[in-house]
């Protein structure tokens, strides 16, 4: 049974990312919950957050901890990336800056294709995502939680599709013929690494806020 409305807690949540595509995706995956989403700019953070950890979880936790320390507000961050089997798991945590700074999806995709030029099918890969949540003023004290998701698939020899961001035009998830960039937002959410991590987070957050999970 859903909790009584008097027991429901409304949460203001900062999304710790400057990637507009990722922010839109995270906000969409939170729809239906009593959450007010704020961008970094809305809470006065205009510089880049440090993310120099060796794992996705370390980077995501770094980001939420920095936002909480600077604003005193609850924060959600994700760190995600592409792991290509033929490249020993690269680019991994360096996915966003694979081709160097400034970060550029097109250059990253071109570098990936060049690195795989001599690799024949199947060019196996997986997207991985870690979502970190921190609330400095939880009902039972400060709280930090981590949720994970993964999606197996393969890398094409040329990009297809215009939706999404990052390596989406090159990645075909298992069980599909379309790339993430061809699937569109809602079909992508159902199978993606971020969608899976966020569904686990939504289920947990619903209980944390005192509402029934609406699922996605």
Three-class SS state of 100? coil
Report the Cα–Cα distance between both ends of the chain, in Å, rounded.
Answer: 18
Answer whether 45's CB lies under 8 Å from 67's CB.
yes
Strand order in the sheet with 35-38: 35-38, 11-15, 74-84, 124-135, 143-155, 171-173
- Nearest-CA neighbor of 53 among 63, 45, 44? 63
79 labelled catalytic: yes
Q: Could you tell me the sign of the dihedral formed by the alpha carbons of 23, 106, 180, 197, in that order?
A: negative
Give the active site residue among 78, 79, 105, 189.
Answer: 79
Residue 124 CA to residue 11 CA, distance in Å, equals 39
Residue 126 CA to residue 4 CA, distance in Å, equals 41
Answer whether 206's CB lies under 8 Å from 2's CB.
no
- Nearest-CA neighbor of 105 among 32, 179, 162? 162
132, β-bridge pairs: 77, 146
Strands 171-173, 143-155: pairing is antiparallel
Catalytic residue numbers read 79
């Amino acid at each position: 049974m859903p909790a009584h409305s008097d027991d429901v807690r409304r949460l203001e949540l900062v999304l710790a990312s400057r990637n507009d595509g990722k922010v839109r995706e995270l906000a969409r995956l939170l729809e239906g919950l009593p959450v007010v989403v704020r961008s970094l700019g809305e809470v006065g953070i205009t510089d880049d957050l440090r993310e120099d950890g060796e794992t996705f979880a370390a980077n995501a936790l770094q980001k939420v901890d920095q936002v909480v320390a600077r604003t005193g507000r609850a924060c959600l961050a994700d760190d995600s990336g592409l792991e290509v089997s033929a490249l020993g798991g690269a680019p991994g945590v360096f996915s966003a800056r694979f081709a160097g700074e400034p970060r550029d999806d097109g250059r990253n995709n071109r570098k990936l294709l060049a690195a795989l030029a001599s690799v024949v099918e199947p060019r196996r890969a997986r997207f991985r995502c870690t979502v970190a949540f921190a609330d400095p003023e939880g009902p039972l004290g400060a709280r930090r939680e981590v949720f994970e998701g993964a999606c197996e698939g393969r890398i094409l020899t040329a990009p297809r599709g215009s939706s999404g961001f990052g390596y989406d035009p090159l990645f075909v998830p298992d069980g599909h013929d379309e790339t993430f960039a061809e699937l569109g937002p809602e079909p992508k959410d159902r199978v993606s690494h971020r969608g899976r991590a966020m569904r686990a987070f939504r289920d947990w957050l619903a209980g944390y806020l005192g509402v029934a999970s609406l699922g996605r």
